[in-house]
C-alpha cells in the first residue's frame, strides 16, 4: 500500500497545529478581553468556517486563492508559484478552516483567567510581555493544549476543503481522506480499509489525550 | 418565544413528505445533468408520470445501488459499472444511451486553437485539470488521448485531478487551472460559454451505459423511460449538448 497520503496528512496536521497559535492567539485575546464595537461581528466571522459546509468554504477559498483571486494573484506575482494545488495552498486552507476550533478553547481559557492576577501583575510593575509569559501563558496551557490537539485531529480528517483547493496531486495535495475517497470510488475497498484502519487509532489516541487534559482542568 | 418555537416544530412535522413522491427514481451520472433537465419534463409530459433524478458521480451512485438504494434505473457515465451490476445479477442487460466527447476547455481565449497538444505542453500553461483517471471515464479517455500522442509523461507534472469531470471543469472555470480536459456538455453551461474549447479527437468517446435495476420499485415506469430515451426527441436533446 502507498503510505504517501497518510504521511502527507500527518505533515499537514502537524504544520497546522504548529502555525495555528500565531493566528488564533491574538484573535482569542481580542475576543476575550476586547471591548469594541463589532465584536460579535468579528466573533461570527471567525466562527463561520465551523458552521459552513466545507465544500462551500473550499469553493470560496478556491476562488480567492486562484490566480484570479486577490490572494492567489498576489501570491503568484510575489513567488511565481500558484497557490492552489500546492501544499502551501492546502495548509493555508487548513488554517482558515481550523481557526474557530483553536480560537474557541483559547478564548474560554482566557476568560477563565482571574482578572485580579493581571491587576496584581500590573500593580507590581510587570511589563505586558512578561505578564504574558509568566502569568497568561502558564494559566492557559490547558486551553492551548486542547486547541492544538483538536486542530491536529481535525486537519487529519479534513476532506471537503482540501478536495476543492487541492486537486488531488499525489505527494503534494492528495491527503489520506481524499485517497480513501478515491479508493472507494475505484472499488479498491482493501486499500480504503487499510488506510482507514491506520487513521482510526491515531484519532482515538487524540480523543483520549483531550479527555485527559479536560479532566485535569476540571 | 417558546410557543412560536413549538408551532414551527409542529409545522415542520406536519409537512407531508408524500409531496415528494415520484413514479420513477433515476440515478444519473452528473455529466449528463443538463440533458436530463430537458428529458425529464418531456418524459413527464409524454407519459403523465413523475420522474425524480439524483445527480452524483457514477462511483457514488454505484455504491448506493449495491447497498439497496431504491432507484429504478441507473444512467452511468461508463460501461463498467452497469456491466458489473448485470454480472452480479442486480440489473437487466445494460444498453448504451449516450456517447460523450472530451474537449480541452479554457477560460483564456489565448489557450484555444486547433492544436490541443501544443496548448497543454505550452510553458505558459502551468496547470491542467483532468478528472480522476481511474474512476472517472472522462479522465481515462483524456489520459488515453495524451498517451496516444505521446505527451502523457511530459504533461503529468502539470496535472491536477478532479474527483469528477465537473470538478475538472470547475478548476478550469475558476482559472485555477489554465486549461482543463472537460466534457463537451460542460461547454453549453453558463460558465462554459464564457470560455473556449478545442475538441480532443484522439480521446476515445466516453460510452455511457444504463441499466434497469432488478430491484426497481417501478419497473413499468422504468421500461417506459428506456423506450423514451430512444425517441428522436431525446436524440435531438443529446446532440444539442454535444452527445451522440
Residue of A59, A159, A182, A185 to mutate, testing the B interface (most B Cβ within 10 Å of its Cβ): A185
> What is the distance between the alpha carbons of residues B99 and B170, in angstroms, rounded to a whole number?
22
The terminus-to-terminus CA distance of chain A in angstroms comes to 43
Instruction: Work out whether strand B179-183 and strand B128-131 pair parallel, antiparallel, or are unpaired.
Output: parallel
> What is the distance between the alpha carbons of residues B114 and B142, in angstroms, rounded to a whole number?
17
pLDDT of amino acid A217 = 64
Q: What is the CATH number of the domain that holds A156?
A: 1.10.3720.10
Evaluate the CA torsion angle B13, B14, B20, B25 in order and state its sign.
positive
Task: Give the count of Cβ contacts less than 8 A between chain A and B.
Answer: 61
CA-closest candidate to residue A152, choices A49, A22, A17, A10: A17
Q: Buried b vs exposed e over A50-88: b needs ≥16 C-beta within 10 Å?
A: eeeebeebbbbbbbbbbbebebbbebbeeeeebbbbbbb
CA-closest candidate to residue B218, choices B21, B18, B20, B19: B21
Task: Out of B59, B126, B167, name the one closest to residue A82 (CB).
Answer: B126
Q: Which residues of B touch A62 (CB under 8 A)?
A: 170-171, 174, 176
Q: What is the mean pLDDT of residues B105-110?
A: 92
CA-closest candidate to residue A168, choices A58, A13, A16: A58
> Cβ–Cβ of A186/B129 closer than 8 Å?
no
pLDDT of amino acid B179 = 96
pLDDT of amino acid A3 = 85
pLDDT of amino acid B6 = 76
Phi, psi at residue B98, to the nearest 5°?
-160, 155
Q: How far is CA B128 from CA A85, A136, B19, in A?
A: 11, 49, 44
> Cβ–Cβ of A186/B127 closer than 8 Å?
no
- Which pLDDT band, with edges at 50, 70 and 90, does B20 fall under? low
Q: Report pLDDT digits (tens) over A59-104.
A: 999 999 999 899 999 999 999 888 999 999 999 999 999 999 999 9
pLDDT of amino acid B31 = 83
Q: Which residues of A touch B161 (CB under 8 A)?
A: 167-169, 174
Q: Which residues of B touch A68 (CB under 8 A)?
A: 174-175
Beta-carbon-side half-sphere exposure of residue B64 (alpha carbons within 13 Å) = 19
> What is the distance between the alpha carbons of residues A97 and A75, in angstroms, rounded to a whole number?
20
> What is the distance between the alpha carbons of residues A40 and A205, in angstroms, rounded to a whole number?
35
Q: Which chain B residue has the Cα nearest residue A60?
A: B174
Decide if B100 contacts B242 (C-beta within 8 A).
yes
> Cβ–Cβ of B160/A169 closer than 8 Å?
yes
> Cβ–Cβ of A68/B175 closer than 8 Å?
yes
CA-closest candidate to residue A164, choices A152, A175, A156: A175
What is the edge-to-edge ordering of all strands in the sheet holding B73-75?
A: B51-56, B24-29, B73-75, B206-212, B95-100
Mean predicted lDDT score pLDDT of chain A = 89
Number of structural domains in chain A: 1
Q: Report pLDDT digits (tens) over B169-209.
A: 999 999 999 999 999 988 888 889 999 999 999 999 999 99
Decide if A5 contacts A183 (C-beta within 8 A).
no
For residue A37, give the 3-state DSSP assignment: coil
Q: Report pLDDT digits (tens) over B215-240.
A: 999 999 999 999 999 999 999 999 98
> Cβ–Cβ of B59/A187 closer than 8 Å?
yes
Residue B16 has pLDDT above 70, yes or no: no
> Cβ–Cβ of B163/A181 closer than 8 Å?
yes
Q: What is the mean pLDDT of residues B87-107?
A: 95
Q: How far is CA B135 from CA A9, B79, B138, in A?
A: 22, 12, 9
Segment holding A42, helix H or strand E: helix A39-51
Q: Can you give the pTM of this predicted structure?
A: 0.80
> What is the distance between the alpha carbons of residues A118 and A112, in angstroms, rounded to a whole number?
12
Residue B75 has pLDDT above 90, yes or no: yes
Q: Which chain A residue has the Cα nearest residue B134?
A: A186
pLDDT of amino acid B238 = 94
CA-closest candidate to residue A95, choices A51, A146, A158: A158
> What is the distance between the alpha carbons of residues B218 and B93, in angstroms, rounded to a whole number?
17
Rounded to the nearest angstrom, the minimum Cα separation between B172 and chain A is: 10
pLDDT of amino acid B152 = 96
- Which pLDDT band, with edges at 50, 70 and 90, does B17 fall under? low
Query: What domain range includes position A157?
Result: 4-217
For residue B51, give the 3-state DSSP assignment: strand
What are the helix (H) ranges across B29-130?
33-47, 58-66, 80-87, 116-121
Residue of A58, A64, A85 to mutate, testing the B interface (most B Cβ within 10 Å of its Cβ): A85
C-alpha cell at B24: 420513477
> Cβ–Cβ of B126/A187 closer than 8 Å?
no
C-alpha cell at B137: 471515464
pLDDT of amino acid A117 = 87
The DSSP call for residue B157 is G
Beta bridge partners, B99, equal: B207
Look up cell 504533461; give the residue: B155
CA B160 to chain centre: 19
Look up cell 432507484; give the residue: B71
| Residues of chain B that touch chain A, judged by Cβ-Cβ distance less than 8 Å | 57, 59-60, 63, 126-127, 129, 132, 134-135, 159-163, 167, 170-171, 174-177
Task: Out of A62, A167, A186, name the one closest to residue B161 (CB).
Answer: A167
Residue B18 has pLDDT above 60, yes or no: no
> Cβ–Cβ of A167/B129 closer than 8 Å?
yes
> Cβ–Cβ of B59/A167 closer than 8 Å?
no
> Cβ–Cβ of B160/A168 closer than 8 Å?
yes
> What is the distance between the alpha carbons of residues A77 and B244, in angstroms, rounded to a whole number?
44
How deeply is B129 buried, as exposed, middle or buried, from its count of CB atoms within 10 A (0-12, 13-18, 19+)? buried
Q: What is the mean pLDDT of residues A116-123?
A: 88
For residue B209, give the 3-state DSSP assignment: strand
CA-closest candidate to residue B197, choices B119, B102, B105: B105
Amino acid at each position: 500500500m502507498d503510505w504517501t497520503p497518510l504521511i502527507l496528512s500527518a505533515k499537514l496536521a502537524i504544520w497546522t497545529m504548529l502555525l495555528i497559535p500565531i493566528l488564533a492567539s491574538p484573535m482569542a485575546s481580542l475576543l476575550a478581553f476586547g471591548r469594541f464595537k463589532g465584536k460579535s461581528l468579528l466573533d461570527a466571522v471567525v466562527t463561520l468556517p465551523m458552521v459552513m459546509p466545507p465544500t462551500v468554504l473550499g469553493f470560496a477559498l478556491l476562488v480567492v486563492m486562484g490566480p484570479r483571486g486577490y490572494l492567489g494573484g498576489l501570491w503568484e506575482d510575489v513567488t511565481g508559484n500558484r497557490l492552489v494545488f500546492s501544499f502551501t495552498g492546502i495548509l493555508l486552507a487548513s488554517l482558515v478552516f481550523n481557526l474557530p476550533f483553536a480560537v474557541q478553547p483559547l478564548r474560554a481559557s482566557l476568560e477563565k483567567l482571574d482578572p485580579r492576577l493581571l491587576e496584581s501583575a500590573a500593580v507590581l510593575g510587570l511589563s505586558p510581555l512578561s505578564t504574558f509569559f509568566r502569568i497568561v501563558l502558564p494559566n492557559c496551557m490547558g486551553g492551548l493544549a486542547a486547541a492544538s490537539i483538536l486542530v491536529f485531529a481535525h486537519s487529519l480528517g479534513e476532506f471537503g476543503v482540501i478536495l476543492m483547493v487541492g486537486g488531488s496531486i499525489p505527494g503534494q495535495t492528495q491527503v489520506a481522506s481524499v485517497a480513501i475517497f478515491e479508493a472507494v470510488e475505484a472499488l479498491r475497498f482493501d486499500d480504503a480499509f487499510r488506510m482507514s484502519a491506520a487513521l482510526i487509532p491515531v484519532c482515538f489516541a487524540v480523543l483520549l489525550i483531550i479527555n485527559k487534559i479536560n479532566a485535569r482542568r476540571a | 418565544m417558546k410557543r412560536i418555537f413549538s408551532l414551527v416544530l409542529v409545522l415542520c412535522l406536519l409537512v407531508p413528505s408524500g409531496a415528494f413522491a415520484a413514479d420513477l427514481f433515476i440515478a444519473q451520472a452528473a455529466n449528463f445533468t443538463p440533458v436530463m433537465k430537458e428529458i425529464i419534463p418531456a418524459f413527464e409530459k409524454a407519459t403523465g408520470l413523475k420522474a425524480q433524478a439524483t445527480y452524483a458521480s457514477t462511483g457514488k451512485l454505484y455504491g448506493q445501488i449495491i447497498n439497496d438504494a431504491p432507484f429504478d434505473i441507473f444512467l452511468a457515465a461508463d460501461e463498467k459499472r452497469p456491466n458489473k451490476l448485470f454480472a452480479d445479477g442486480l440489473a437487466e442487460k445494460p444498453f448504451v444511451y449516450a456517447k460523450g466527447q472530451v474537449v480541452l476547455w479554457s477560460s483564456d481565449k489565448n489557450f484555444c486553437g486547433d492544436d490541443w497538444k501544443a496548448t497543454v505542453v505550452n510553458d505558459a500553461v502551468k496547470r491542467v485539470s483532468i478528472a480522476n483517471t481511474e474512476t472517472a471515464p472522462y479522465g481515462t479517455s483524456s489520459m488515453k488521448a495524451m498517451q496516444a500522442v505521446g505527451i502523457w509523461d511530459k504533461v503529468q507534472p502539470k496535472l491536477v485531478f478532479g474527483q469528477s469531470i465537473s470538478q475538472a471543469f470547475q478548476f478550469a472555470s475558476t482559472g485555477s487551472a489554465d486549461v482543463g480536459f472537460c466534457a463537451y456538455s460542460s461547454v453549453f453551461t453558463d460558465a462554459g460559454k464564457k470560455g473556449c474549447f478545442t475538441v480532443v479527437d484522439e480521446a476515445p468517446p466516453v460510452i455511457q451505459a444504463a441499466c434497469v435495476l432488478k430491484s426497481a420499485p417501478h419497473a413499468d415506469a422504468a421500461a417506459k423511460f428506456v423506450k423514451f430515451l430512444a425517441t428522436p426527441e431525446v436524440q435531438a436533446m443529446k446532440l444539442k449538448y454535444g452527445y451522440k
